[in-house]
Amino acid sequence: MRILLLVSAFNGLTQRVWCHLREHGHDVGVELAGTFDEPRDLVEAVESAAPDLILCPFLKHRVPEQVWRRYPTVIVHPGPVGDRGPSSLDHAILDGREQWGVTALSAVEEMDAGPVWASNVFDMPAEPISKAALYNSRVADAAMACVDEVLRKVDSGDLPLDADQCLRVVADTGERPLLRRKDFELDWAEPAEELARRVAAADSAPGAPADVQGRRVCLFDAVASDIETGATPGTVVGHNVDAVAIACGSGTLWVGYAAVLTERRGTKLPASRVIDASRTPYLKVPDALAETSYVRDEHVGYLTLRSYNGAMYSEQCRRFTTAVEKALTEDTRVLVVRGTEHAFSNGIHLGVIDAAPDPAAEAWENIWAIDELCLVLANADQLTVTAFTANAGAGGVMAGLCTDVTVARDGVVLNPYYDMGIFGSELHSWALPQRVGEQRADMLLHRKLPISAAEADRIGMISGVGPRDMAEFDEWLGETARGYAEPATLATMLARSAELRARSKPLSYHQTVELAEMARDFFDDRNGFADLRRRFLTKAAPEVTPAKLRFG
């Protein structure tokens, strides 16, 4: 089919749908709804595209009547049958729902009120996770199931059902009001568990506002602890690396990220850069906020790296490098480096860079730090495996390719690089071509378009794709790693890696060439990195849909 994705942004879910449809032979184009000044302009663009079907996996704008009356138009709504409103996931997290869902429904005059094409219900995590993490994992998986059902019905000529005819698996749904930042205000007299849930519902936007140390801030990435300090609620009582602990009515709230809040919200930064915790004691952080964790299973070591939304700033890259070096001192045969269920890595930290007194110098320091991590992974004596447990982008993808073996979870989307006005480093000129060849590597780096884990596996960019379910993936990853640890297999893999390195120029050559280009991008700003960085951080709407996303 000729399918138009009408969306408000080419976000993670839209990218996943885009990849999936293209891989199944559909002709797919994208239009960003916010780039049109008038509804009639959008109507003309749709008429020019002449799609068989319009899918809207992420749409905050209203679809003009001239569009949905003429073309089958399906909205993917992050709520179960009967749920309506723009703050669906916020309410689900705040209410502590045990189940939630995704519904694909026809666009009509009234928002989220059209006939139902498909629905999918999932269990909510036992502990509250951030809205962004929920959206990128269970919501995205349910959305993909709905998209497949829509395509099946359209192909077979089936019609959607009126919502009243559909079974409502999740009870007490209906139209819910838009939640704004003030609705997530934190009262430090409340229990830490309740405040953590409120922060999760507001993360990553609009953020939960609070008064801390006489300043207005927005808080993100929070976890509750039952530790009682006896301090007045709202008092900063401890820190661990860049996370800070704040006393509550009962328990303690650990906060990983914060932003200054004046008339507008500032850049999200590691919490200790916004909240002064320098005079507080160093405390053990809850496991859910720990930057790294290492476990060993006989001959295999597993190192989990955690970075908020996948952004890794200079000091954090250095800590990750130290953690990898320490893990490599263990007498294991295989080291698996992995992310969490909700994030792997997107490379350097644009927010920390932009907030620095000298952004160019900070960017330079950040790229050096992530390159050092890549060098340690590439030069390891043990067999190293990267597991893309969640979406990855830019330097996060390239760092993952620096290990001997790279695998991914089904459904993961990889963005080799973004349109950010920088050449890129992370040894990509070595790691990518040796896997996919020079020609295909040049194409991937030039196009700067996402690919699915399945496509990455097909072209040899990665070595395997495991199950989509996280528990099943962990089991698959364990079996895969243990297989690599078998002496005969291990010897073969290590010999192959040594041969590849021997045939290549020294890694220092690749790093030097890449950093020479990056120096010009950072310090001379030859390709507009400063402006593109700020537009990304402020979520500035693009003026036009990139030509590469439209129908070819």
Fill in the amino acid letter for 277: A
* Contact partners, residue 406, CB within 8 Å, separation at least 6: 385, 386, 388, 400, 461, 462, 463
Give the whole-angstrom CA distance, residue 302 versus residue 250. Answer: 35
Contact, 293 vs 304, CB < 8 A? yes
Nearest Cα to Cα of residue 119 among 89, 160, 91, 90? 160
DSSP 85: S
Q: What is the pLDDT of residue 223?
A: 97
Averaged pLDDT, 106-111: 91
Phi-psi region of 342 (alpha: psi -120 to 50; beta: other; left: phi over 0): alpha
Residue in the structure block whose two tokens are 């890129």 = 424
Averaged pLDDT, 331-350: 96
pLDDT, tens only, 411-420? 999 999 999 9
Averaged pLDDT, 371-396: 97
Give the whole-angstrom CA distance, residue 381 versus residue 385. Answer: 12
Averaged pLDDT, 112-133: 93
> Bridge-partner residues for 27, per DSSP?
2
Give the whole-angstrom CA distance, residue 355 versus residue 516. Answer: 24
359, 360, 361, 367 alpha-carbon torsion, rounded to 10°: 100
Phi-psi region of 184 (alpha: psi -120 to 50; beta: other; left: phi over 0): alpha
pLDDT band (50, 70, 90) for residue 61: very high
Burial category of 123 from C-beta neighbours within 10 Å (exposed 0-12, middle 13-18, buried 19 and up):
exposed
206 has pLDDT over 90: yes
Lookup: tokens for 251: 């328990």
Instruction: Specify the length of the chain in residues.
Output: 552
Q: What is the pLDDT of residue 71?
A: 97
> Bridge-partner residues for 106, per DSSP?
74
pLDDT, tens only, 246-274? 999 999 999 999 999 998 899 999 999 99
163 has pLDDT over 90: no
16 has pLDDT over 90: yes
389 has pLDDT over 90: yes
Range in 12-21, 33-42, 71-80, 157-166 the model is least confident about: 157-166
Give the whole-angstrom CA distance, residue 3 versus residue 391. Answer: 24
Give the whole-angstrom CA distance, residue 145 versus residue 161. Answer: 17
Q: What is the pLDDT of residue 169?
A: 86
pLDDT band (50, 70, 90) for residue 361: very high
Lookup: tokens for 202: 């507001």
pLDDT band (50, 70, 90) for residue 218: very high
pLDDT band (50, 70, 90) for residue 13: very high
Q: What is the pLDDT of residue 207?
A: 96
Give the phi and the psi of residue 84 in degrees, each rounded to 5. Answer: -145, 150
Percentage, residues of the chain above pLDDT 70: 100
Contact, 212 vs 236, CB < 8 A? yes
Lookup: tokens for 454: 């399945």
Residue in the structure block whose two tokens are 């019905």 = 153
1 has pLDDT over 90: yes
Q: Where are the beta strands (DSSP E) in 143-234?
A: 208-212, 215-225
Percentage, residues of the chain above pLDDT 90: 93
Q: Classify 433 as helix, strand or coil.
A: helix
Instruction: Give the Cβ contact number of residue 54 at 10 Å.
Output: 23
Give the whole-angstrom CA distance, residue 282 versus residue 543. Answer: 47
Averaged pLDDT, 132-136: 94
pLDDT band (50, 70, 90) for residue 132: very high
Cis check: omega of the bond before 204, within 30 degrees of 0: yes
pLDDT, tens only, 193-203? 999 999 999 99
- Between 165 and 278, where is the model more confident? 278
Give the whole-angstrom CA distance, residue 545 versus residue 261. Answer: 31
DSSP 461: S
Nearest Cα to Cα of residue 518 among 348, 307, 355? 348
Give the whole-angstrom CA distance, residue 193 versus residue 223. Answer: 8
> Bridge-partner residues for 150, per DSSP?
none
Averaged pLDDT, 291-302: 97
Contact, 110 vs 198, CB < 8 A? no
173 has pLDDT over 90: no
Range in 163-167, 229-233, 240-244, 394-398 the model is least confident about: 163-167
Lookup: tokens for 163: 């919502």
Beta strands across the sheet bearing 334-338: 292-297, 300-305, 334-338, 383-388, 405-409, 464-466
Q: What is the pLDDT of residue 165?
A: 83
Mean pLDDT across the chain: 96
> Bridge-partner residues for 126, per DSSP?
none
